[in-house]
Chains A and B, each alone.
Chain A
Amino acid sequence: MNKVFNHISKNLLLIKLFIRELNKERRKILMTIAGIAWGTLTIILLLSFGDGLANQMMKSRKGLGVNIVILYPGQTGREYQGLPQGRGISFREEDCDLLKNRIPYIDRIAGEYDSWGNSFKYKDKMVSEKVRGVSSIGYEDMRTHFPQEGGRFINKMDLQERRRVIFLGTNLKERLMGDVDAVGETILINGFPFKVIGVMQDKMQMGMYGGPDTETAVIPASTFKTIYGNEYLSRIIYQVNEIDRSEYVNSLVRQTLGSKYRFHPEDKSALHFWDTIKNTKVTRKVFTGITIFMGLIGALTLVIASVGVANIMFITVKKRTREIGIKRAIGGKRGLIKFQFIMEALLIDLTGGLIGGSVAYLIVFLIRNLIGKGDGFGEGMAMYMLSQPNFSWTVAITTASILGLVGLLSGFFPARRAAAVDPIEALHYE
């Protein structure tokens, strides 16, 4: 124990002296530290923004839905079993149950009915918007229709009893009702009274069909049918539980519906799939690529800065040749000289890294907290995407290891030269 303490205190004393030696070249060292700090700042900001961008992108994708495939009816593309080409396919609500029962990889499934240009009325305010009927519970999880506090989404009883209840998109609610607490209020749609049961939580939505969800009203499919009399669904949406199987699931869907509606299982135009899972995977790959690219740029900046550190270390080795000689003459071992120079390089890198890291953290923190999150689309969307840089552990660890590596490299070669100094020549070196 005592020995360990001695060892540490001895090294601390030596380091104290090393720092004093470094003090003599303060200006150059400050420049180098600034270089390392700049490199660190660059790499962290690039990685943080890359990470944040990818996160926001993924979150926005989730605005449309989580691992969902959107299925549209089409027209047959070829003759099959004596039936002509160009025959229209239409979905019914039962098809959802059929698919769910036949295909175990489908977690949730729902049919949607759409009706456009309905007049919404609340008190004396009128708005014209779309109404969507949805046929199953669990839709809220699948299509991220989460209710704000105090409200709820459509449930089983609503569906069974064809209740006139309505779930409003955020923007639609605001346009129609303003700041009023909507839950429990009654609004009129084409003259029919509906009770508001929930308002959707605000969300970012990248992909959409028929307008953003924030502008849509959702009612139970059963209620929808009694009012509008629709027989056929506009589309079917299903959630796949194993994302790697989405294509296989899609082919099963084509087979199942093909045998029901009698079209060829290979007929590509009878059904149209919008497979968001495939898109998500592509996006993820693109962002991994971007992150690696940004990391590389940052790493290069750091490498250049580290060449600066190595350079200044080489200069100090030369300038301190005599001191190295003195230390060698009074019994300093080669390893100690090496250790000293590596320590010094590491110290410079670490200081620079800490400064750069703190500044980067501050910038990330300020952007996250001070800049508005942005909303809607267009310019607001760009802000939204960039407003959430993420200084994650991965970023920190990546940067730290690159810094460490760079530090060792920038210290190693000068240290090797220092240790190789011939003490006899060094003692006469002026």
Chain B
Amino acid sequence: MIDMNNIKKVYDTGKIQVEALRGVNLQIEEGDFMTVVGPSGSGKSTLMNIIGCLDKPSEGEYKLNQKSVKNFNDNQLSEIRNQDIGFVFQNFNLLPYASAYENVEMPLLFAGMSGKKRRERVEYILDRVGLSERMGHKPNELSGGQKQRVAIARALVNNPKIILADEPTGNLDTKTGENIMQLFIELWKEGNTIVMITHDPRATKYSEKAVKLIDGKIKNQTMD
């Protein structure tokens, strides 16, 4: 499903050029659970942004569903992010003025789904992550774990091909983090494809592929 070939990313900050990725080759298949580890500054987030079509590689070819991302314009990339990608961030990134329900509803609004279907879908997903009781609450009325569940629901709501999670348990206490990780594992078992930046040993235990990034290069790619 995802095929990356010699991906390079160079940030040009005027005087200095920073090479965030220096030739990454990566394949992700449907149903994969892949973890990405590595020290900070190793290019993990850059890699996630490129996979998630938030960023474009400077060099190399990235094919998503056999189509080269290079040729898509900004609107098409937005549609891909809306339809095929689900992001989950370390700091949740929920819209503070919108309720849990509205946060989850937003990708469907962007997709133009009709009202009744939208309602069913949002309620179903919130129920799936165990938040059907707290739909009307704003993010500041929710605990960290609940916030992350809303974020996961938002990532799932459009039935994406792949879920990209950037240290989803990083801001949570151990117990809550465990629950969230459990949820991810369940979602994977239900057939979702997940790529996760994490150092959590529970995740690495389940993941079939573990990628270690150092200085913008994949050091080892273990296959179970």
Contact = CB atoms under 8 A, between A and B. Distances in A.
Interface of A: 2, 6-7, 9-10, 13-14, 17, 20-21, 23-24, 322-323, 325-336, 423-424, 427
Interface string B92-106: 011111100010011
B79 interface: yes
Q: Which of A21, A332, A335 has the most CB of B within 10 A?
A: A332
Given A17-B102, A329-B87, A9 B115 contact: yes
Nearest to A23: B97
Given A332-B82, A336-B110, 8 more contacts: A10-B112, A322-B93, A327-B110, A329-B54, A330-B87, A331-B79, A331-B81, A427-B89
Interface of chain B, main secondary structure: helix
Contacts of B49: 424
B72 to A, nearest CB: 13
B107 A24 contact: no
Nearest to A323: B95
Contacts of A23: 97
Contacts of A17: 95, 97-98, 102, 106
Contacts, number: 75
Q: How large is the interface on B (under 10, 10 to 19, 20 to 34, 35 or more residues)?
A: 20 to 34
Which 7 A-B pairs rank lowest in CB-CB distance, beginning with the nearest? A331-B82, A333-B78, A20-B97, A331-B81, A331-B110, A330-B107, A326-B93
B114 A328 contact: no
A336 B106 CA distance: 12
Nearest to A2: B114
Nearest to B106: A330
Nearest to B102: A17
Contact of A331 (B89, B95, B107, B115): B107
Interface of B: 49, 52, 54-55, 74-75, 78-79, 81-83, 87, 89, 93-98, 102, 105-107, 109-112, 114-115, 154, 158
B114 A6 contact: yes
A333 B49 CA distance: 17
Q: Which of B82, B89, B106 has the most CB of A within 10 A?
A: B106
Nearest to A423: B54
